[in-house]
Structure 1
Amino acid sequence: MQIVGMDIHRSFARVAILEDGTIIRQLRVDLVHDRLVAFAKTLSLEDEVVIEVTGNSAAVERILRPHVKRVAVANPRLVRAIAYARVKTDKVDAGTLAKLHAAGFLPEVWVADEDTSSRRRQMAERAGVLAQIIRIKGRTKAILHADLIPPYKGYLFGKRGQHWLDSLPLPSEERAMLWRLIVELERVTKQLSEIDKVVAQQALDDPRLSS
């Protein structure tokens, strides 16, 4: 069995391969999907990979997982504290990660399974779409405020609100801007509805909710 330490950066990873307590190989792997897959295929189902939590570590873990025995993901702050206590250095590289894991000193974190990761991505997308809706509505109201038009007393973004917008004495360029915002709002609101349908169906299909 080999222990593969990976010091992950934004676009590449430094790799150290530990076998029987000795670093037998070091290399650099570009963090591009195809190249990372090619590297993963050089490993075996007996090997273990060690990485730290970073902005792109989830993607690295997901790609490597099918090709090795396991991928251990570590808490970077605790790794540095433990490394300093053991070897008196706060520099944590790929070799240090591999050695800490081999010695049983690696402070691991929980790694979400693929289903949980997928749901997280969906909720992040939903939050982004919702932020777009809020931004569009805010810009629409700002146009009306700049033209000294008092707030609509009903729901501005429904059919009655749109009829009310049609009747307002606005400059032609601002009216055009307003309706571009309304069209964009309809498009983004439809996206939100589609996401909500998928999320709701997943909840209905989740066996944990019926137990």
Structure 2
Amino acid sequence: MMTPFCYFVGLDVHRKSISYCVKRPDGSIVREGRIEAQRPALDSWALGLKEPWCGGLEATICSHWIYEHLKPYAACLQMAAPAKLKAIAAAKRKNDRLDARVLADLLRCDMFPSCYVAPAEYQLLRRQLRERAFLVRTEVMFKNKIAGLLIESGVPYETRLLHGKRYFAELLQQRAALIDEIRPLLAFNRTQVEGLREMDRLIVKQLLQHPLLRERVARLQIIAGVGEITSLTWAVETGQPERFPNEAHAISYCGLCAAQCESAGVQKRGPISKQRNRFLQTTLIEAAHFAVQHNQQLRAVYEAAQQKGHRQRAILEVARRLVRYLLAVDRQYFAAASMAAA
């Protein structure tokens, strides 16, 4: 079969440098080398490729901006899922030059394990929402530190009210003699909690008002038990629902099913897979616990599943049903938007 590309380019990406290998369809090397991972260097390098070329790079923390920068220059640019690059991970000889060659060969032989790359606008939104998740974890850490300092000093407190502004101020006044030595530490931790909480609210407010998310998130919240954070996480992490060919694919991406292991007609099932979007997995399981209390249909699903087995498996079944609901509503929204645009 004839290929429309004159060159196949493998890019082994690192923070400071990029190793590349340019091959023809017959496998012969045109050139290879290393360039700096900077935009001017990428521009001058890409302009040197005069013929149509297909490029491939591995998904890393620094791959996305390189992908977006080189995309206008390439006839085709793909990003590979690291978990599927066995050809590189299992090699006896491994260095940047050989890795770039392997990536070029995988492209040339049409065996490159490409993965979904979210549009640039969704990548920015995803970065903001994941920063918000980090802030929440950090806020919990400081709250636990406040409680730990009080416990170490033998200061009794009401757990449910401890992190309220009024109760915390009253506690400092009433127990002044006991907490005098740790007062600066308590004040510092409290300041961090308030600052993180304010930043959390600001990020959520900005995301809810974003043109790409405002109407979409409002539509997702018509599902009883689905709130702002669940709908935001679904919209930002999935990007576009057409990337999922079916519901099972979406459930697998969310990490709500076990990996399949079948051989000689014998099937083995283990725990839920580690190959997943961990942000969606955590959010959906938390949302399932909440939705059971506010959605009668999901409550019925939970009770029916609980009769068959463990309650945690029942929560997983609720989370899977929640994915089906979210995907159905999302598809309806995008279908209506495309019809309106037409």
Scaled to the shorter chain, the TM-score interval is: 0.7 to 0.9
Report the AA paired with residue 163 of structure 1. E
Equivalence map 1:74-153=2 (5 Å):
74-81=80-87, 93-152=99-158
1-structure distance, mates of 2:181, 2:47 = 58
Query: Retained in 1: the 8 A contact 2:8–2:25?
Result: no
- SS of the aligned residue for 2:156 comes to coil
Structure 1 residue 16, shift from structure 2 partner: 0.8
Which structure carries more relative contact order (alpha carbon 8 Å, separation 6+)? 1
**Which residue number in structure 2 is paired with residue 18 of structure 1?**
23
- SS of the aligned residue for 2:184 comes to helix
> In angstroms, what is the RMSD of aligned CA positions?
3.0
Deviations 1:17-59 (A, max 9, x none): 1235321111102224443344344446832211122332223
1-structure distance, mates of 2:55, 2:142 = 45
- SS of the aligned residue for 2:117 comes to coil
Query: Retained in 2: the 8 A contact 1:81–1:90?
Result: no
- SS of the aligned residue for 1:16 comes to strand
Query: Retained in 1: the 8 A contact 2:80–2:113?
Result: yes
Report the AA paired with residue 214 of structure 2. L
For 1:189, which of 165, 173, 197 is the aligned residue?
197
2-structure distance, mates of 1:40, 1:148 = 65
Structure 2 unaligned blocks of 5 or more: 1-5, 220-332, 337-342
- SS of the aligned residue for 1:148 comes to coil
Do the aligned partners of residues 13 and 194 (structure 1) sit closer, same or farther apart at CA in structure 2, a change above 3 Å counting? same
Bigger drift between 16-25 and 117-126 goes to: 16-25
2-structure distance, mates of 1:165, 1:82 = 58
Q: TM-score, normalised by structure 1?
A: 0.82
**Which residue number in structure 2 is paired with residue 204 of structure 1?**
214
Deviations 1:105-143 (A, max 9, x none): 222112122133122211210111111211111111111
1-structure distance, mates of 2:44, 2:218 = 37
1-structure distance, mates of 2:145, 2:92 = 52
Structure 1 unaligned blocks of 5 or more: none
Query: Retained in 1: the 8 A contact 2:54–2:107?
Result: no
Bigger drift between 166-175 and 114-123 goes to: 166-175
Aligned length: 208
For 2:10, which of 5, 9, 27 is the aligned residue?
5
For 1:36, which of 35, 39, 42 is the aligned residue?
42
**Which residue number in structure 2 is paired with residue 57 of structure 1?**
63
Query: Retained in 2: the 8 A contact 1:82–1:105?
Result: no
Identity score, percent = 25
Query: Retained in 1: the 8 A contact 2:21–2:104?
Result: yes
Deviations 1:2-23 (A, max 9, x none): 2211122443221111235321
- SS of the aligned residue for 1:93 comes to helix
Report the AA paired with residue 142 of structure 1. G
- SS of the aligned residue for 1:152 comes to coil
Query: Retained in 2: the 8 A contact 1:49–1:71?
Result: yes
Query: Retained in 2: the 8 A contact 1:83–1:90?
Result: no
Structure 1 residue 193, shift from structure 2 partner: 0.7
Report the AA paired with residue 166 of structure 1. Q
- SS of the aligned residue for 2:9 comes to strand
Bigger drift between 99-108 and 127-136 goes to: 99-108
Structure 1 residue 154, shift from structure 2 partner: 4.5
Report the AA paired with residue 108 of structure 1. S
- SS of the aligned residue for 2:141 comes to helix
